[in-house]
Amino acid sequence: MNPANYILLSALLFSIGAIGVLVRRNAIIVFMSVELMLNAANLAFVAFARMNGNLDGQVVAFFVMVVAAAEVVVGLAIIVTIFRTRRSASIDEPNLLKY
């Protein structure tokens, strides 16, 4: 089992997430893509921890999970609030904060 494969998988997942963020308009889908990117990063951390034979990467992965959980709470709350006022979950429509 080559560790490089995990890194490649991680990069693949991250790219899918990034493209998802960029191309999708639905806020929920964008949010899911962000989660995908976070977990791709987690995978990379864990893979590197394994490769280097210490636990630092594993610890960071836990931190990321905690942060991601907190972020989901806040982010979903914002999305629900926007949906209530605008009846839409598109992220292109709330573009009032501009030049």
Partner 1 sequence: MTEVLPAEGIYSLLWVLIALPAAGALILLLGGRRTNTWGPYLGVLTIAGSAVIGVLMLLAMMDQSAEQRTIVQNVYDWVFVGTFQASFALQLDQLSIVFVLLITIVGALIHVYSLGYMAHDPDRRKFFAYLNLFVAAMLLLVLANNYLLLYVGWEGVGLASYLLIGFWQRKPSAAAAAKKAFVINRVGDVGLSVAIMLIFVTFGSITFQDVFGQASEASEGTLTAIGLLLLLAAAGKSAQFPLQAWLLDAMEGPTPVSALIHAATMVTAGVYLIVRSNAIYNAATWAATAVVIVGLITIFMGAIIGSAKDDIKKSLAGSTMSQIGYMVFAAGLGPIGYVFAIFHLLTHGVFKAGLFLGAGSVMHGMNDGVNMRRYGALKGLMVITFITFMAGYLAIIGIPPFSGFWSKDEIIHAAFERNSIIGIATILAAGITGFYMTRMIAMTFFGKARWEEDAHPHESPAVMTIPLVVLALGSTFMGMALLFWGNIEYWLEPVVGYESVPTPLPTWVYIAVTLVVVIIGAIIGWVMYARKEVPVEPPHGNVLTRAARQDLYGDAINDVLVVEPTYTSARALTTFDTKGVDGFVNWTATFVGDLAKRLRRTQSGFARSYALSMVGGAIVLLVALILVRLS
Name the site residues for partner 1 (rule: CB under 8 A): 18, 21-22, 25, 30, 91-92, 95-99
* Closest CB 96 distance from partner 1, rounded Å: 6
Measure Cα distances from 75 to 9, 15, 43, 83, 94 in Å: 27, 21, 23, 12, 15
Query: Of 31 and 45, which has the nearer Cβ to partner 1?
Result: 31
* Closest CB 24 distance from partner 1, rounded Å: 9
Identify residue 48 by its one-letter amino acid code. Answer: F
Task: Taking each helix axis as running N to C, give the angle between helix 27-52 and helix 3-23, from 0 to 180 degrees, rounded to the nearest 10.
Answer: 160
* Closest CB 58 distance from partner 1, rounded Å: 25
- Position of tokens 């931190």? 63
Query: Of 1 and 96, which has the nearer Cβ to partner 1?
Result: 96
